[in-house]
Amino acid sequence: AQSVTQPDIHITVSEGASLELRCNYSYGATPYLFWYVQSPGQGLQLLLKYFSGDTLVQGIKGFEAEFKRSQSSFNLRKPSVHWSDAAEYFCAVGRSTGFQKLVFGTGTRLLVSP
Amino acid sequence: SAVISQKPSRDICQRGTSLTIQCQVDSQVTMMFWYRQQPGQSLTLIATANQGSEATYESGFVIDKFPISRPNLTFSTLTVSNMSPEDSSIYLCSVDGQDYGYTFGSGTRLTVV
């Protein structure tokens, strides 16, 4: 069965410092991979996605993620964190064919310290 | 990518009552998905709604508790029936935007008292 693991429940980063949020997945087929951000009281906003091709994908708000098939990972990175990045981040996996549900990780709450 | 209008954005309901949540999409989509996010938790799929057929429910969710309608390719409703405090959650609808990824509505924050 497919699953997504986000091992860090909370992460605190100083403003201006770099960020890496970890995501590992288990999926029997070729996966579609996603990162979403959820600000307090808000819905989910898509940061970036990986379908195929270049394993380093660029997203909105300066985020990027790298797909590593050998490690079953899709870690999210940002070189310099801004206070407005404080939010909950969810990694998700879906099947690459057809209309399929997403399986979400448990989320990582990012706190940004001044 | 598709734009989803979801309402209500929030509601406070008495236990034993029902609430119907609506999702309107600005383009025709084949599948719509309904998720639940319990307080402090991740998202769990309730059901998948395909126009013209019965919704497909995930394990642990039943039609009597969460009836879904999908009358056309741009609209769906989820009803939370006979509510209890344990139903207090954020409910989100989602569509598969194909190359644009999955788009989510802004969510309905439900509190049952």
Residue B98 has pLDDT above 70, yes or no: no
Residue of A32, A43, A92 with shortest CB distance to B106 = A43
CATH class of the domain whose range is B15-107: mainly beta
Query: A90 at the B interface (CB within 8 A)?
Result: yes
Q: What is the mean pLDDT of chain A?
A: 91
Q: Tell me, what's the pLDDT at A28?
A: 74
Stretch (H or E) spanning A108:
strand A108-113
Question: Measured between beta carbons, which residues in chain A are less than 8 angstroms from residue B41?
Answer: 106
Domain total for chain A? 1
DSSP B5: E
Residue B99 has pLDDT above 70, yes or no: no
Say whether A83 sits in a helix, a strand or coil: helix
Q: In angstroms, what separates the C-alpha of A84 from chain B's closest C-alpha?
A: 19
| Cross-chain Cβ contact A99/B6 below 8 Å | no
Question: Measured between beta carbons, which residues in chain B are less than 8 angstroms from residue A60?
Answer: none
Residue B76 has pLDDT above 90, yes or no: yes
Q: Tell me, what's the pLDDT at A97?
A: 58
| Cross-chain Cβ contact B102/A106 below 8 Å | no
Q: Average pLDDT in the A84-88 region?
A: 95
pLDDT tens profile A25-79: 998 777 889 999 998 877 889 999 998 888 999 999 999 999 999 999 999 999 9
Reported confidence tier of residue B41, pLDDT bands at 50, 70, 90: confident
Cis ω before B8 (30° cut-off from 0): yes
Reported confidence tier of residue A96, pLDDT bands at 50, 70, 90: low
**Distance between CA atoms of B70 and B78, rounded to whole angstroms?**
9
Query: B101 at the A interface (CB within 8 A)?
Result: yes
Can you give the three-state secondary structure of A5-70, one letter per residue? ECCCCEEEEECCCCEEECCEEECCCCEEEEEEEECCCCCCEEEEEECCCCCEEECHHHCEEEEEHH
Residue A113 has pLDDT above 80, yes or no: yes
Which residues, listed in sequence order, are joined to residue A108 by a DSSP beta bridge? A89
Among A18-32, B58-72, B78-92, the minimum mean pLDDT is found in: A18-32
Q: Which domain holds residue A35?
A: 3-113
pLDDT above 70: percentage of residues in chain B = 96
What are the C-alpha distances in Å from B94 to residues A100, B34, B91? 11, 6, 10
Angle at B79 between CA A4 and CA B35, to 5 degrees: 10
Query: A51 at the B interface (CB within 8 A)?
Result: yes
| Cross-chain Cβ contact B42/A34 below 8 Å | no
Q: Which of residues 59-88 of B touch A (CB under 8 A)?
A: none
Query: B106 at the A interface (CB within 8 A)?
Result: yes
Residue A80 has pLDDT above 80, yes or no: yes
Q: In angstroms, what separates the C-alpha of B107 from chain A's closest C-alpha?
A: 5
| Cross-chain Cβ contact A44/B92 below 8 Å | yes
CA atoms within 13 A on the CB side of A48: 20
Q: In angstroms, what separates the C-alpha of B94 from chain A's closest C-alpha?
A: 9
CATH number at residue A51: 2.60.40.10
